[in-house]
Amino acid sequence: MNRILIAVAALALACWSLVDSGWAADKAVKLPPPTQDLHGMAGTETAVFAGGCFWGVQAVFQHTRGVLNAVSGYAGGDKSSAHYEQVGSGRTGHAESVQVTYDPGQVSFGTLLQVYFSVAHDPTTLNRQGPDAGPQYRSAVFYRDAEQKRVTESYIAQLNAAKVFPARIVTEVRPLTGFYPAEAYHQDYATLHPGSPYIA
């Protein structure tokens, strides 16, 4: 139990509020919708996004209409190293990520990208979000198939061409080789700790 409390305290220090770091709501950017998107799918789909501390990213997608579930976890590395203490070293290849399960009849993949780039994080900072630094906090979209890759790359090109951000987008677009849910104490953190000063 003490180990879990120490880990939570360490994570709280690492996951500083984006508000405190200057990426406040007044700096959020109003983005155009993607010119390319995925439509006409039935059932449920999943997408995996990384953008700094997963607590805030999970909270954003949990409040997005059409999202059925959002899970904090790790993507980009091996299953054997998908543990918070190891990921925190920045040497595992993992990024703190969120797997989003959604109903494409209610929300499209392109709309999820629009949310991700506009309010979930700052996509123009390399390997950091606010004071959280290291490759585990990088901006990345882990695509599940060629269509997700196509729409993501197209939207990044569209946003860069429109110069909606003061700098170029540095978001990685990489194939998803595996998603590994984070430890239980990371799940639904913003919901369970609404007064936490570490989450925007």
pLDDT at 41: 76
- From the list 38, 53, 71, 141, the catalytic residue is 53
User: By the 8 A CB rule, do 50 and 100 touch?
Assistant: no
Burial of 29 (0-12, 13-18, 19+ CB in 10 A): middle
Parse the chain into domains and list their residue ranges: 2-192
State how far the Cα of 112 lies from the Cα of 200, in Å rounded to an integer.
18
Please give the CATH number for the structural domain made up of 2-192. Answer: 3.30.1060.10
Contacts of 170 by beta carbon, 8 Å cutoff, 6+ apart: 123, 124, 125, 126, 139
pLDDT 10s per residue in the chain (200 long)?
333 333 333 333 344 333 333 444 445 668 999 999 997 678 999 999 999 999 889 999 999 999 999 999 999 999 999 999 999 999 999 999 999 999 999 999 999 999 999 988 999 999 999 888 999 999 999 999 999 999 999 999 999 999 999 999 999 999 999 999 998 888 877 787 777 776 65
Element (H, E) at 70: strand 67-75
pLDDT at 7: 36
State how far the Cα of 94 lies from the Cα of 73, in Å rounded to an integer.
9
Altogether, the residues listed in the chain come to a count of 200
| Residue 43 zone, left/alpha/beta (φ > 0; ψ -120 to 50; rest) | left
Catalytic, 53? Answer yes
